[in-house]
Amino acid sequence: MTQTRAVAAIDLGATSGRVVVGRVGDGVLETETVARFANDPVRLGDGLHWDVTGLYAAVLRGLREAFRAEPRLASIGVDSWAVDYGLLREGQLLGVPFHYRDERTARGVVAVERTIGRADLFARNGLQFLPFTTAHQLAAEPPGVLALADTLLLMPDLLAFWLTGIRRAELTNASTTGLLDARTRTWDDGLVSAIGVPRTLLPALISPGERIGDLLPHVRAAVGGSAPVVAVGSHDTASAVVAVPMHADAAAYISCGTWGLVGVEVAQPVLSPEVSAANVTNEGGVDGRVRLLHNVMGLWILTETIRGWSRRGEDADLGALLAAAAEVPASAVPVFDVDDARFLTPGDMPARIDAWCDEHGLASPKTRPAYVRAIIESLAQAFADAVSTTSRLGRVDVRTVHLVGGGALNELLCQRTADRTGMPVVAGPVEATALGNVLVQARAAGMISGALEELRDLVARTHTLRRYEPR
């Protein structure tokens, strides 16, 4: 029997982060969250930013707790949200990294499309149009800023650099930048040059499972231990999909948190005009797989709605509101387009829902439970549409939908997704991203072996899943 050993997963989401100890062995896959912390954006005079140094300080505190729990950690892995980056010069951060929801991205879209049209861009990078991809953000940088920098690091790569002193770009996250060739999975030098990005900014690429480096001496002193940092699927969705307990030829996945990432897994990118027209994206997965998916606005709309009510001092208990929403007939609320650009930035979501309904000749919700029900119905419909589209374009015979992440706890959303897709929805695991991070590290350390299918089988054998049948 293989001895159980432990790794540490740093899992950073767009609203919160955590450090998780994962214990893996023969038939064993357990996680323990040893630190949890908020990831709140900061609005400065020039826009919306991430408090990245505060986030890093929280990571160090979390790693200290991880080493207290498991002094002999085999490795450490970092995953986070995609597209955002820090610019460095001689190892020093040049300014506070922007948040992808900052309004500056609009001028980046204009700048990129002066150089290359959306269809041509898709033919090279395989990505759906999103105004906040790294390419668009870089095009929005003020003149001269890129010339000052010598390195660009995406958020998980930036934290790995601060931990190890090694600059690398992990492939799954690099695939979201818009600067990677979808076919060769290397930096597209011609595209990089056309957008006006110095090629020297982009580090060497590294694959999940490869060793990045050892902790720096001052980091070892701060966290009270030593372990190598290993590349994982550093885009959090790439890690989450590793832990989806599915059979690739019969399932779609929904990684549901702040965003809802809905799609299928395929062996090669699908770069047809139909994929581009459907605004479906090809993103890199672990083991060279491709995540053919659509980005749905996700639970962001619901959480921002709850946040707004709370700020105004109104009763905004999520559990109570969901229970009340379940009593509102689905036929009594509008289904709106959750992917409408108006819902991207922070603000008054109910007012934006009202505006959308007014523009489309629909009656707006009248009560807070009705707003919640409208959001749930609209998300479920968007999920169903994305499952249908990606399965058709990827030629995957989908018979089951797996919903992982925080959304797996939302019973109403899971049931309505089953109802609207007409397929069973298997909910869980909730902690899929951290599990995927842990599994890639564990395989790299020799604790387990096998292809993704074997890793997913271990998830299915060790975690309780809930099945929702369509009604």
Contacts 24+ apart (CB under 8 A), 162-167: 162/56, 162/219, 163/76, 163/78, 163/215, 163/216, 163/219, 163/229, 164/212, 164/213, 164/214, 164/215, 164/216, 164/219, 164/229, 165/91, 165/213, 165/216, 166/212, 166/213, 166/229, 167/203, 167/204
SS3 category, 94: coil
The first and second tokens of residue 243, run together, are: 């832990």
Q: What angle do CA 347, 386, 179 make, to 5 degrees?
A: 75
**Catalytic site includes residue 236:** yes
φ/ψ of 10, rounded to 5, equals -95, 115
Measured in Å, how far apart are the chain's first and last C-alpha atoms? 44
- Name the β-bridge partners of 18: 11, 36
- d(CA 194, CA 36) in angstroms, rounded, equals 41
Sheet of strand 76-79, all strands in order from the earlier edge strand to the far edge = 28-38, 16-25, 5-12, 76-79, 228-230, 211-214
d(C-alpha 388, C-alpha 402), whole Å: 14
Q: Which of 39, 42, 144, 167 is nearest to 92 (CA)?
A: 167
Helices then strands, each counted (H, E), the chain = 18, 20
Residue type, 275: V
3-state helix vs strand vs coil in the chain, percent to 5: 40, 20, 35
DSSP letter assigned to residue 463: S
Six token digits for residue 222: 């701060």
Q: Which of 84, 236, 339, 419 is catalytic?
A: 236
Alpha-carbon distance of 428 to 407, in angstroms, equals 9
Residues 6 or more apart whose CB falls under 8 angstroms from that of 140 comprise: 104, 105, 106, 107, 108, 111
User: How is residue 161 written in tokens?
Assistant: 């650099």
Question: Can you tell me which residue has the tokens 């989450």?
Answer: 240
CA proximity to 184, closest of 271, 263, 116, 81: 271
The candidate with the shortest Cα–Cα distance to 15, out of 131, 100, 130, is 100
Supply the residues annotated as catalytic.
236
